[in-house]
Amino acid sequence: MSILSTIEKCLDNAEQLNGELNSFLKIERNYALNRAAELENNGEEQSLKGTAIAVKDNICTKFSQTSCGSRILGGYRPQYNATAVERLLKAGAVVVGKTNMDEFAMGSSNENSAFGAVKNPWDVTRVPGGSSGGSAVAVASGVVRASLGSETGGSVRQPASFCGVVGLKPTYGRISRFGLVAFASSLDQIGIFGQTSKDIADVLSAVAGRDKNDATSADVQVPNYAEELSKDITGKRIGVPRALFGAGLDDEVRGAVEAAIDNYKNLGAEIVDVALPHSKYSIAVYYIIATAEASSNLARFDGVRYGFRAGDAHGLREMYMRTREEGFGAEVKRRIMLGTYVLSSGYYDAYYAKAQKVRTLLKQDFLDAFERCDAVLTPTAPTVAFKIGEKTDDPLAMYLSDIYTASANLAGVPGISVPCGLSKDGLPIGLQIVGRHWSEATLLNLANAYENEFPLGAKPVFSVG
């Protein structure tokens, strides 16, 4: 098929499924068709030539909106492309649209979008996970092979697990954050969804690497990830922190992950015990650090510089207040308040400074574990996709969705979620593999081995073809 007809088909599928799934906030038909026609004729060899990719709506695109799922940025169009987008385009990809998300990437269910919840294509009464739910669903429903999401505490891995696709959070500094709208800058990282690890490897090879526009992007060589995918995994040491398989973990998820551990053993991996003793503090630490940074990052949305401004205000102060009151949703306001509180002078040492110390211990846990193994295996999330509305009145229950993922963001290490089975209700279960800094190639290799030998063997109810 020509690039043009492939992209046209992809756009038709996106439009057709969006009524039910709401995974795209904007489908860029004209832009994508023009781009496809251009690529068809450019005669260049490019690694992602003609590949349709969906991009989360908190990653800046000058050819489309960047709303962050928020009223306060509704219709906002940036003046520049994020570096990751710029590199995708340079590699010949076609960005077909911007995907729905929890407002400012705050959430675990995609119910916090100002533009409506995203539905899980395996069961539309359930959430797809969050905050990158739209990007996960665009891949799970077969509209695109790969998409960009963002991760602060699990927002790629957790929805990948709920939607039955592969999701990678790279090492902090692996992909430039230039043009990724900041939520919590010391944790944020662009992540990638793929139908397979190969899709992720191809996209990662294109977007990773040092960028002069992001001082936290690292000058670490970018391997050709696809070449390392199918190496033999015999002798790889996989660490299992059994102590984390306790309370709160759904029995079916535990069963599937235990089976996956046996499967890895049969594939030649060596299973070793590890302890991550401070992991139990990860949610508490995460919600102090993430909200503290968010309260500061979100101060820039004041009705002057970007997007929405409340009308009829008397004076500057009232304009600020009304813009933020009307522009932000409930969860964002909750986080700004929490973050402001933990940073306030009387509480800074008790909360923020303490959390930073525990963060160091969490990181040390991983470094200690990696003395004994090449990667650590856990469930990605404690449950399968839950019902829409089930946790909206209980923020703490919602926050616990990230119990297995947040520690990798706090430590800056990479993690991947791979489908490892279906529940008796036919819902996907994900296993997570976390590795050393810069070990994305190892994670993709381990994920690829699993996918090839133990494919999910089922498709969502709502999907292409």
Under 8 Å between Cβ of 157 and 415? yes
Whose Cβ is closer to ligand GLN: residue 107's or residue 241's?
Answer: 107
Among 92, 154, 159, 241, binds ligand GLN (CB under 6 A): 154
153 binds ligand GLN (CB under 6 A): yes
Using CB under 6 A as the binding rule, the residues of this chain from 117 to 136 that contact ligand GLN are 131
Nearer to ligand GLN, 202 or 440 (CB): 440
Nearer to ligand GLN, 152 or 423 (CB): 152
In whole angstroms, what is the distance from residue 78 CA to residue 87 CA? Answer: 17
The reply to whether 293 sits near ligand GLN by the rule CB under 6 A is no
CA angle 270, 222, 206 (to 5 degrees): 110
107 makes contact with ligand GLN (CB under 6 A):
yes
Of 322 and 334, CB closest to ligand GLN? 334
Of 8-16, 151-159, 362-370, 456-464, which segment contacts ligand GLN by CB under 6 A? Answer: 151-159
From the list 109, 131, 132, 279, the catalytic residue is 131
Residue 149 as a binder of ligand GLN (CB under 6 A): the answer is no
Which residue in the set 3, 106, 165, 427 belongs to the binding site for ligand GLN (CB under 6 A)? 106
Regarding 155 and contact with ligand GLN (CB under 6 A), the answer is: yes
Considering the complex, state which of residue 48 and residue 362 has its C-beta at the smaller distance from ligand GLN.
Answer: 362
Confirm or reject binding of residue 339 to ligand GLN (CB under 6 A).
Answer: no
Query: Is residue 290 near ligand GLN by the rule CB under 6 A?
Result: yes
Stretch 182-211 residues interacting with ligand GLN (CB under 6 A) = 183
Region from 7-15, 153-161, 271-279, 374-382 binding ligand GLN, contact rule CB under 6 A:
153-161
Nearer to ligand GLN, 199 or 402 (CB): 402
| Residue whose CB is less far from ligand GLN, 153 or 329 | 153
Q: Are strands 166-169 and 146-151 parallel, antiparallel or unpaired?
A: unpaired
Determine, following the binding rule CB under 6 A, whether residue 402 of this chain makes contact with ligand GLN: yes
Angle of helix 282-297 relative to helix 354-372, nearest 10 degrees? 130
Q: Tokens representing 288? A: 């102090």
Please pick, among 67, 70, 150, 155, the residue that the annotation labels catalytic.
Answer: 155
Residue of 23, 26, 56, 217 marked active site: 56
Min CB(331)–ligand GLN separation in Å = 8
Is 4 an interacting residue with respect to ligand GLN (CB under 6 A)? Answer: no
For residue 252, list its beta bridge partners: none
Among 18, 108, 432, 448, binds ligand GLN (CB under 6 A): 108
Tell whether residue 105 is a contact of ligand GLN (CB under 6 A).
Answer: yes
SS3 string, the chain, reads: CCHHHHHHHHHHHHHHHHHHHCCEEEECHHHHHHHHHHHHHCCCCCCCCCCEEEEECCECCCCCCCCCCCHHHCCCCCCCCCHHHHHHHHCCCEEEEEECCCHHHCCCCCCCCCCCCCCECCECCECCCCCCHHHHHHHHCCCCCEEEEEECCCCCHHHHHHHCCEEEECCCCCECCCCECCCCCCCCEEEEEECCHHHHHHHHHHHECCCCCCCCCCCCCCCCHHHHCCCCCCCCEEEECHHHCCCCCCHHHHHHHHHHHHHHHHCCCEEEECCCCCHHHHHHHHHHHHHHHHHHHHHHCCCCCCCCCCCCCCCHHHHHHHHHHHHCCHHHHHHHHHHHHHHCCCCCHHHHHHHHHHHHHHHHHHHHHHHHCCEEEEECCCCCCCECCCCCCCHHHHHHHHCCCHHHHHHCCCEEEEEEEECCCCCEEEEEEEECCCCHHHHHHHHHHHHHHCCCCCCCCCCCC
Indicate if 423 belongs to the active site: no
Give the residue nearest to ligand GLN (CB): 155
Q: Which of 28, 151, 202, 365 is the binder for ligand GLN (CB under 6 A)?
A: 151
Q: Known catalytic residue: 109?
A: no
131 catalytic residue (yes or no): yes
Q: Interacting stretch for ligand GLN, rule CB under 6 A, among 79-87, 103-111, 208-216, 354-362?
A: 103-111
Interface with ligand GLN: number of residues (CB under 6 A): 14
Which residues 6+ apart lie within 8 Å of 177 measured at CB? 185, 188, 189, 190, 214, 216, 217
Q: Does 113 bind ligand GLN (CB under 6 A)?
A: no
Stretch of 136-144, 145-153, 243-251, 442-450 contacting ligand GLN, by CB under 6 A: 145-153
Q: Which is nearer to ligand GLN, 89 or 184 (CB)?
A: 184
The amino acid at residue 171 is T
State the nearest-atom distance from the C-beta of 151 to ligand GLN, in Å. 5
Active site positions, annotated: 56, 131, 155
Q: Could you list the residues that contact ligand GLN (CB under 6 A)?
A: 105-108, 131, 150-155, 183, 290, 402
